[in-house]
Amino acid sequence: MKFYDRTRELQRLDEIAATGTDAAHLVVITGRRRIGKTALIKHFGEGRAGLIYFFVGRKKPQILLDEFTSLLAERIPLLKSVKITSFEDFFAILFEQMAASPLFIVFDEFQNFLYVDPSVFSTLQHLWDNNQDRAKGAIICVGSIQTLMRNIFEGNKEPLFGRATAKIHLTPLAMEVIATILADHQCRPKDELLFFTTLFGGVPKYYFLLDRHRMFASRRAEIISGIFCEPDAILQNEGRELLIEEFGKNHQMYFSIMQVIAGGETQMARIADSAGLNTGTLPKYLDELISYYQVIERRVPVTASRSEQKNGRYHIADPLLRFWFRYIFRNQSLIELGETVRLTKKIMDDLPTLMGHSFENLTRDLLTACNDGSIIPFVFDKLGGYWNRTGSVEIDIVALDDTGENILFGECKLSGERFTIADARKLKAKAAQVVWNNTSRKEFFLFISHEPVSPARRQELKNEGIGVVELSQMLKPNGNSI
């Protein structure tokens, strides 16, 4: 599969390369596993003779040094007969080479030095401090275990604290890019984007795997079964592989909480009850999952005042993890029994519910991407959802601007034909209960449908003052305003 997007990140690396002709940089690149960090470096390195790539495996120090020396000897033939026995000597040679000509030296999975030889960090700090003024190019440290990378470069007691001259954090690809990937593989985005992003979000490696196994054209049940459910399925252990090392010894507690949230419980009291925790203990773990591990997010109503900030709900931010905890981790017994067909059916039966929730997230992403007045008839400054304290009033989409003049209320459904006049009147009634500049605001109403809506149904809703937009309209550069 070809390389997609990353325009901003490549531009930043090109800027670093341009200034690296007479200066040195220490670059930190982070992002979850599978997000495309190595692919980014590979793409950046195409045609660059001065790039040297080292993968930091968890090996004995001398074995790793021998591997690194062998790679470096391709550039410095004299090293073929030299035995380097310390990382201090190895890095000293690198800096000598960088003083002579610009080099871009990549250490992939840099955090693994913690397990190989932790003294590498202080060694690199010492050599960097003494050589950065005469070196040229960049040392690029790439890492997947984000908690460790933050500790290494942001911990104020760590040797490399404050040394990074540039930081790049890779996030999932935008939904428009995923739509392009699907179109390039003969999938119609307006039909398939929601399904694929419900499973895989914007993580490019998962689409590479689909391409590698020729599964883009497969039926949905076949994709789920082949990727997640069958014995030795490629992503059956993905949640564990992504998180156990991040979470460490408390992974069972965190996994239990994430399973409950993935199952649909989003309020603290109900999460605590389902996870078997008391409400006094749970906030500590939730705060860690949000702030430190960054795998769940706390959402508040988009109109929330300071007093309403307590009315938060918790969600798993990563679609793959949400899917994995909802269906795979929860059903380990079926996996152990080899009940592939039964598990696949169980997932397929519930999948429309999960896709309904995912459609709300997809809608927010796409509306944000086309925030130019083409879909919503004003440029909004905030976009989210609304719910009151009791949960008796909930609205999927609320957009507003900072002028205090314009606000839009929207509801999402997979089938637009299910929108009725009663739904239109109900949405307006709920909107009236949202406290936000009630006496002076201009209100707009919108139904968002994944599937096509008939002209007759559109007209009925228009007569009630409700606009209708389909997913296909949001995927176009210029959608039709409501």
**Which tens digit of pLDDT belongs to each residue from 352-399?**
999 999 999 999 999 999 999 999 999 999 999 999 988 899 999 999
The whole-number average pLDDT for the span 44-62 is: 94
Mapping DSSP to helix (H, G, I), strand (E, B) and coil, where does residue 313 land?
A: strand
Question: In degrees, to the nearest 5, what angle opens at C-alpha 442 toward C-alphas 437 and 446?
Answer: 115
pLDDT at 279: 84
Length of the chain in terms of residues written: 482
Q: Residue 101: is it exposed, middle or buried by C-beta count within 10 angstroms (0-12/13-18/19+)?
A: exposed
The end-to-end CA distance of the chain, in Å, is 37
319 — pLDDT class (breaks 50, 70, 90):
very high
Give the count of alpha carbons within 13 A of 57, CB side only.
Answer: 9
pLDDT at 308: 65
Average pLDDT across the chain, whole number = 94
Domain 7-169 has CATH 3.40.50.300: yes
Backbone angles phi, psi at 401, to 5 degrees: -115, 165
Quick: pLDDT tens for 161-214: 999 999 999 999 999 999 999 999 999 999 999 999 999 999 999 999 999 999
* 241's tokens: 């592989």
Quick: pLDDT tens for 434-480: 999 988 999 999 999 999 999 999 999 999 999 999 999 998 654 33
Rounded to 10 deg, the angle between the 268-275 and 251-262 helix axes is 120
Quick: pLDDT tens for 219-254: 999 999 999 999 999 999 999 999 999 998 889 999
């039709």: which residue's tokens?
480
CATH of 370-475, picked from 3.40.91.50, 3.30.70.100, 2.20.25.10, 3.40.50.300, is 3.40.91.50
User: Is the predicted pLDDT of residue 124 greater than 50, yes or no?
Assistant: yes
Rounded to 10 deg, the angle between the 455-463 and 421-431 helix axes is 40
Tell me which residue of 233, 239, 191 sits closest to 216, measured CA to CA: 191
Cβ–Cβ < 8 Å for 108, 41: yes
Domain ranges of the chain: 7-169, 172-368, 370-475
